[in-house]
A and B are shown apart, each in its own frame.
Chain A
Amino acid sequence: MLVSKSMLRVVDVRKSFGPTPALRGANLEVAEGEILAIMGPSGSGKSTLMHCMAGIFVPDSGEIWFGGQRVDQLDEDNRTELRRSTFGFVFQFGQLVPELTVADNIALPMLLNKEPRKVAYAKANTWLDKLDLKGLGHRRTGELSGGQAQRVALARALATKPKVIFADEPTGSLDSLNAEKVMDLLVDLAREQHTTVILVTHEPRIAASADREVMICDGKVVTAQKVAS
C-alpha cells in the first residue's frame, strides 16, 4: 500500500455524543485524487465520520491520519488552520454569507489565508466562468437560486486549491437537474486538480458519480473495498 501525501486514513475511530455513540470503530482509507462516497441511512454516523476526518471533531478514540500526520492529535488552532488551508467544504445549504456578493464569498477563504485583495478577487473571477456563474460576481448571494448558490459554494471550496474536499450532501436541497449540474462540475473540477473528494450522501445517484463508495451502518464502515487502481 502506497502512502501518498494526501492519503486519509481512519483507524478504529469511535465517537459518542453524550450517551449516543455515533461511530463505533470505523475504518477507512482514501487514496490521493480519489472520489469517495460515504453512504448510509440517516443516523448512521456518516456526517460524524466526515467531521472526524476533516478535523472538526476529535474522536474519543482511534486515529486519523492525513498525509502522515495525526489529525486527531492536533490542537484546536492547528486543526482550524488545516481546514482553512488544506481542505475545502461544501455543505447542503446555508454556508454562504448572504450579504456578501458572489465574488466576495468565493474570495473569502483566500482573504482568510491572508492573500492580498487583488490576487484573491482575480482568482475568484476565474472561477465564475468555470462554474457557469458569469456575470453574477456582483450579486448578493442571498438573492441567488439554490443551484447558483451551491455552485458558488463549490467555487469557494475549490478556489483555494485544497487537497481534499469534504462535501456533505451537497445536492440535498437541489432539484435533479441542478443536482446533476453541481455533481458533474464537482467531479470534473476535482479530477482536473487531482483533488480528493469525500462525499457524504444517502442518494445512490449522487454516490454513483464517485469512484467508489463505502457504507456506514451503525457507526461502522461496512463495505471498505480496497482501492481500485
Chain B
Amino acid sequence: MLRLGVHLSLRSGKEALIRLVLTAIAVMLGVTMLLSALASYHAFQATNNKPHWWFPDVAEQGSLLWLYRTDVYGNQDIKRVDIAVLEPNAPLIPGLDRMPGPGEFFVSPALSELINTVPAEELGSRFPGKQAGLINDEALLNSHELLAVVGRSPDELRDVPQAFLVDNLDIPSSPHRQTNFFSFLFAIGMLSILLPILVLVTMATRLSASRQEERYAAIRLAGATPGQVNVIASTDAFLGAAIGTILGVFCFLFLHAVVTRAAIDYLPYHPRYITPTMLGYLTVGIGVPLISVVAALLSLRRVRISPLGVSRKTTPKPPNLWQVVPLVAGLAIFVSGAAVENGLVMGAGFLLIMFGLILGGPWITMQLARILGNKANGAVVLLAARRLASNPGSAFKPVSGLVLAVFVGTVFACIAPTLLADQQNEKVNTLEHVLTVSFYDQRTVGLSADAGAELIEQLREDPGVEVFPIYATPSSIWANSREAAARYAEEGIDHDPTIGYITCEDLASLAAIGDCAPDVQVTAIFTSPLILDHNISDQTVIPGTSTTNVELSTLPVQALLIRSDGASSLEKARTLLANKTITTDTPPRTFGEIRQYEQSLVNGIQRIIYAAIVVTLIIAGASLAVAIGDGLMERKRPFMLLRLSGTPVSVLNKVVLLESIAPLFLASLVAAVVGFGAAATLISTVAPDGSTIQPPVISYYLVMGGSLLTALLVICAPLPLLDHMTKSDNARFE
C-alpha cells in the first residue's frame, strides 16, 4: 500500500508533480524560517543563561580583590575588571586558565585587535603592563565584546574604596527583570512567526490533498477501505513535506553558514549558540511532516465518510457579523482604557484588538469585496471581487499573520520617534561632543582640590580638549534651616552632592546648559540631572546664587565636562581618566553617545520587529502563491474556456493577481491604520504632555515597501503556470 501511494504520487502526471513541487517549496520555506527562529531563540537563551561573572557577590573574606568598571571607546563599552590575587587558590574567571598577575592583562580578541590598530594614548595605555594573552569565548557574551582583565598587586587595589573582596565567580545569571521581559517578547515574536508558517505548511499540504479528493474517491469506489486511502493520502502529503523538510534543513544550514561568516562582527550572540539544537531539528524534522499528514487526513474527511461525498462542491459558509465583535470590543476597551489611563485595561484592549483583527478579517474582506463587486466597472475587478466575496476565509488566511506583524510594527514605528524625540532637543545637540564624568560616589564627594587641579592640567595639555570643572559646594550654604545644617553635620556630609559650582565663563562656553545672571562670576547648577541623566532643563542653573567670594581652587572637583574636537582627543582624554581616576558609577560618555546608546536600544527592538514584518510578509506572499495555485487548479476549466472564448490571458493574470494583492495590501493598510490609531492613543495618554504623534521613521516605509514588493514578486511566481494550464493547445476535447 505504501508503494502504491508512492507510485501514485510520483507517476500521476504533470499536475501531480507540480503539486508535489509546490508543497515541497512551501514546506522548505516554512522549515527554514522555523529553524532560524528556533536558533535565534536558543542563542538568546543560552547567552542570557551564561554566568554573569563580572558582577560577583561581595564576600566577607575573599581570595580576590575585584574592581569592575565600564569604560568607553567610541560607541562601544569596554568591560574592565582590575583584580588582585590574594591567595593562590583564588577563583578563576570562566574561560581563563589563570588570572593575570600584576603588570599583566588579558583582553578579548576584539579588544586586542582594537588596541593594536589604535594609537596607544587613545586606548592601549589604559591597561597597565603587558598584554599577556587572549580571553576565550567562554567568558564573552559574543565575539565582538570588548573585555579586559587587568592584574594588579594587592597594594594597588586595597586602597581603592570601590574594590571589594570576592571568593566565588560562578554566578548564575539572576533572572533580571529586563531579560525576562525580553524573553517573553521573544517568545511572543516567535509564536507570531510560527503561526503563519504553520498556516503555510498546512495550506500547501491541503492543496495536494484537496486536489486529490476525486482521485481518492475513485480509489474508494474501486474498493479500497478508508484505511487504505488514508495510507495513500498520507504518503502523498508526507512525500511533499519530507522533501520540503530536508530541503529546508539544507537551506537553513546554508543560510547559517553564510550569515555567521558574513555578519560575525554584528551578531549579538556567538555563532555556536545559533543553532536550533538537536531538539529543535528533531521537533521540526518530525513535527512538520507529521502536521502535513494530519492536515491531509483532516481534509479527507469527506472522502472517508463517503466516496460519493465529493461530487457536489458546496460554497463554504460565509463569515458572520459576530466575528467582528472582538475587534470592535477591543478597540472600545483600548480607548476607554486610554481615557482612564489604566495600563492594564489598555493592554487587554490591545490584545483583544490583535485577536479581533485575525477573527474579523474575513468578514471585513467579504463586505469590501461585495461592495467592490457591485460597483466594479471592468471584468477584472468583477471576477476578483466575486471570488474574494465567495471565499473570504481562504483569501484572508494567508495574510492573517501579516496583519498582526504590521499592526505591532506600525504601533512601534509610530511610538519610536516620540520615544527618541525627547532626546533630540536642540540643547543636547550642541553638547554632543561633551563628555561627562563624575567623581562622586558613596564615600567621596569628588577628587580632592589638588588631585583635581592636577588632572585638569593634564587634560588641558591636549589643545583639542576643553575642560569645564564642576566643584562641590559646601552643604552649609544650602541648609536653609538650622535643623538641616545640623542634619548635614550629623551625617557628615560636607558637601551637597547634587549641586555644584561652575564658573560663568565656562557656562557661557557650554551655552546649552543655561545662562548666568549678569555680573556673576560663579554660579551653582544641579549636577545630578546633568551629569547622571544627561538631562538639561531650564532649571539646571540655580538662580540667585551670588558667589563672588568663593575660592573654587579650594573645593573638591565633583565632576568634569570635557569637550573634545575629535575622536582622537576624546579617547586620549578617556585614557587619562581611566588611568588617573576610578569612575565606577557612570562610564565616561558624551551626550551624543548617550543618545546613540538609547537610540540603539529602540533601534534594536525596531529591527526585531522589522524582521518579523519582513518574514511574515514573505510568508504571506508564499501562502498567497500557494492559494493561487490551488485556485487555478479549481478554476482551470472555466478559465481555459474563457480564454477560448476570447478572453486575453492578460485579463486572467490580472484577475488572479488582484485576488491576491487586494487582500495583501488591504490587510496591511487596515493593520497599519489601526496601529497608527492605537499608537496615537498611547502617546496621547502615556507620553509626557506636549508630545504629539510623529509620522513613522523612514525605515518603516522602506521595510514595509520592500517587503510588500517582495511578497508581490512571490505572488507573481505562479503566473506562468496560469498561462500554461489554460493554453488552448492543452484543450483536447475529443
Q: In this assembly, does B317 line the interface, its C-beta being within 8 Å of a C-beta of chain A?
A: no
Q: How far is the CB of B33 from chain A (nearest CB, A)?
A: 33
Q: In this assembly, does B460 line the interface, its C-beta being within 8 Å of a C-beta of chain A?
A: no
CA distance in complex: A28, B339 (Å) = 82
Chain B residues with CB under 8 Å of A85's CB are: 646
- A91 and B646: CB pair below 8 A? no
- B734 and A99: CB pair below 8 A? no
Chain A residues with CB under 8 Å of B641's CB are: 89, 91, 94-95
Q: How far is the CB of B389 from chain A (nearest CB, A)?
A: 8
Q: In this assembly, does B647 line the interface, its C-beta being within 8 Å of a C-beta of chain A?
A: yes
Question: A56, A94, A112: which contacts B637 (Cβ < 8 A)?
Answer: A94
Chain B residues with CB under 8 Å of A45's CB are: 734
Report B289-348 residues with CB < 8 Å from chain A CB.
Answer: 313, 315
Q: In this assembly, does B379 line the interface, its C-beta being within 8 Å of a C-beta of chain A?
A: yes
- A97 and B635: CB pair below 8 A? yes
CA distance in complex: A99, B734 (Å) = 28
Q: In this assembly, does A57 line the interface, its C-beta being within 8 Å of a C-beta of chain B?
A: yes
CA distance in complex: A60, B419 (Å) = 72
Q: Residue-by-residue, is A71-91 near B (CB-CB < 8 Å gives 1, otherwise 0)?
A: 000000100111111011101
Chain A residues with CB under 8 Å of B313's CB are: 142
Chain A residues with CB under 8 Å of B648's CB are: 77, 80, 84
Q: How far is the CB of A141 from chain B (nearest CB, A)?
A: 9
Of chain A, the residue at the smallest CB distance from B376 is A117
CA distance in complex: A88, B641 (Å) = 12
Of chain A, the residue at the smallest CB distance from B640 is A94
CA distance in complex: A80, B647 (Å) = 7
- A87 and B646: CB pair below 8 A? yes
Report A90-129 residues with CB < 8 Å from chain B CB.
Answer: 91, 94-101, 104, 108-109, 111-112, 114, 116-117
Q: In this assembly, does B61 line the interface, its C-beta being within 8 Å of a C-beta of chain A?
A: no
Task: Given A47-B734, A108-B379, A117-B377, verify A98-B638 contact (CB < 8 Å).
Answer: yes
Q: How far is the CB of A125 from chain B (nearest CB, A)?
A: 15
Report B353-412 residues with CB < 8 Å from chain A CB.
Answer: 376-379, 382-383, 386-387, 389-391
Task: Given A97-B638, A104-B382, verify A83-B390 contact (CB < 8 Å).
Answer: no
Q: In this assembly, does B651 line the interface, its C-beta being within 8 Å of a C-beta of chain A?
A: yes
Chain B residues with CB under 8 Å of A98's CB are: 635, 638
Question: A99, A100, A104, A109: which contacts B645 (Cβ < 8 A)?
Answer: A109
- B646 and A95: CB pair below 8 A? no
Chain A residues with CB under 8 Å of B733's CB are: 47, 168
Question: B315, B382, B728, B732: which contacts A108 (Cβ < 8 A)?
Answer: B382
- B383 and A97: CB pair below 8 A? yes
Of chain B, the residue at the smallest CB distance from A112 is B379
Chain B residues with CB under 8 Å of A116's CB are: 377
Q: In this assembly, does A161 line the interface, its C-beta being within 8 Å of a C-beta of chain B?
A: no
Q: In this assembly, does A194 line the interface, its C-beta being within 8 Å of a C-beta of chain B?
A: no
- B379 and A95: CB pair below 8 A? no
Q: How far is the CB of B642 from chain A (nearest CB, A)?
A: 7
Of chain B, the residue at the smallest CB distance from A200 is B733
Count the A-B residue pairs with Cβ separation under 8 angstroms: how many? 92
Q: In this assembly, does A43 line the interface, its C-beta being within 8 Å of a C-beta of chain B?
A: yes
CA distance in complex: A81, B642 (Å) = 13
CA distance in complex: A97, B386 (Å) = 10
Q: In this assembly, does B195 line the interface, its C-beta being within 8 Å of a C-beta of chain A?
A: no
CA distance in complex: A42, B289 (Å) = 45
Chain A residues with CB under 8 Å of B391's CB are: 99
Chain A residues with CB under 8 Å of B646's CB are: 80-85, 87, 89, 109, 112
Chain B residues with CB under 8 Å of A82's CB are: 646
Q: Residue-by-residue, is A194-222 near B (CB-CB < 8 Å gives 1, otherwise 0)?
A: 00000000000000000000000000000
Of chain B, the residue at the smallest CB distance from A44 is B734
Report A144-197 residues with CB < 8 Å from chain B CB.
Answer: 157, 168
Report B630-660 residues with CB < 8 Å from chain A CB.
Answer: 635, 637-638, 641-642, 644-648, 651
Chain A residues with CB under 8 Å of B387's CB are: 99
Task: Given A95-B638, A112-B379, verify A51-B728 contact (CB < 8 Å).
Answer: yes
CA distance in complex: A101, B729 (Å) = 29
Chain B residues with CB under 8 Å of A104's CB are: 382, 386
> Most chain-B CB neighbours within 10 Å: which of A77, A88, A99?
A99
Report A40-76 residues with CB < 8 Å from chain B CB.
Answer: 42-43, 45, 47-48, 51, 54, 56-57
- B728 and A56: CB pair below 8 A? yes
CA distance in complex: A168, B641 (Å) = 11
Of chain B, the residue at the smallest CB distance from A50 is B733
- A89 and B383: CB pair below 8 A? no
CA distance in complex: A99, B379 (Å) = 13
Chain B residues with CB under 8 Å of A99's CB are: 315, 386-387, 389-391
- A17 and B732: CB pair below 8 A? yes
Chain B residues with CB under 8 Å of A96's CB are: 638
Q: How far is the CB of B353 from chain A (nearest CB, A)?
A: 31
- A100 and B647: CB pair below 8 A? no
Chain A residues with CB under 8 Å of B383's CB are: 97, 100, 108
Q: Residue-by-residue, is A13-48 near B (CB-CB < 8 Å gives 1, otherwise 0)?
A: 000010000100000000000000000001101011
Question: B382, B642, B651: which contacts A95 (Cβ < 8 A)?
Answer: B642
Chain B residues with CB under 8 Å of A77's CB are: 648
- B644 and A89: CB pair below 8 A? yes
Chain A residues with CB under 8 Å of B651's CB are: 112
Q: How far is the CB of A165 from chain B (nearest CB, A)?
A: 11
- B379 and A111: CB pair below 8 A? yes
CA distance in complex: A218, B288 (Å) = 54
Of chain B, the residue at the smallest CB distance from A99 is B390
Q: Residue-by-residue, is B717-734 near A (CB-CB < 8 Å gives 1, otherwise 0)?
A: 000000000001101111
CA distance in complex: A48, B128 (Å) = 94
Q: How far is the CB of A84 from chain B (nearest CB, A)?
A: 3
Chain B residues with CB under 8 Å of A87's CB are: 645-646
Chain A residues with CB under 8 Å of B645's CB are: 83-84, 87-89, 95, 109, 157
Q: How far is the CB of A167 from chain B (nearest CB, A)?
A: 12
CA distance in complex: A116, B375 (Å) = 11
- A140 and B635: CB pair below 8 A? no
CA distance in complex: A97, B732 (Å) = 20
Of chain A, the residue at the smallest CB distance from B638 is A97
- B642 and A97: CB pair below 8 A? yes
Question: B315, B376, B377, B647: which contacts A142 (Cβ < 8 A)?
Answer: B315
Chain B residues with CB under 8 Å of A80's CB are: 646-648
CA distance in complex: A116, B313 (Å) = 33
CA distance in complex: A82, B126 (Å) = 86
Chain A residues with CB under 8 Å of B729's CB are: 17, 57
Question: A48, A112, A117: which contacts B647 (Cβ < 8 A)?
Answer: A112
- A100 and B382: CB pair below 8 A? yes
> Most chain-B CB neighbours within 10 Å: which of A84, A95, A157?
A95
Report B138-152 residues with CB < 8 Å from chain A CB.
Answer: none
CA distance in complex: A45, B732 (Å) = 10
CA distance in complex: A85, B648 (Å) = 12
> Most chain-B CB neighbours within 10 Å: which of A45, A104, A140?
A104
- B315 and A84: CB pair below 8 A? no
Q: How far is the CB of A118 from chain B (nearest CB, A)?
A: 9
Chain B residues with CB under 8 Å of A88's CB are: 645
- A111 and B382: CB pair below 8 A? yes
Given contacts A56-B731, A89-B641, 15 further A-B contacts (CB under 8 A): A51-B731, A57-B728, A81-B646, A83-B645, A84-B648, A88-B645, A89-B646, A94-B637, A94-B641, A99-B390, A104-B382, A108-B382, A111-B379, A112-B651, A142-B313
* 27 A-B pairs in the complex with CB atoms less than 8 angstroms apart: A45-B734, A47-B734, A51-B644, A56-B731, A81-B646, A83-B646, A84-B645, A84-B646, A84-B647, A85-B646, A87-B645, A88-B645, A89-B641, A89-B646, A95-B637, A95-B642, A97-B386, A98-B635, A99-B387, A99-B391, A100-B383, A108-B379, A111-B382, A112-B646, A117-B376, A117-B377, A142-B313
Q: Which residues of A contact B (CB under 8 A)?
A: 17, 22, 42-43, 45, 47-48, 51, 54, 56-57, 77, 80-85, 87-89, 91, 94-101, 104, 108-109, 111-112, 114, 116-117, 140, 142-143, 157, 168
User: 7 tightest A-B contacts by CB?
Assistant: A84-B646, A83-B646, A94-B637, A99-B390, A95-B641, A111-B379, A47-B733
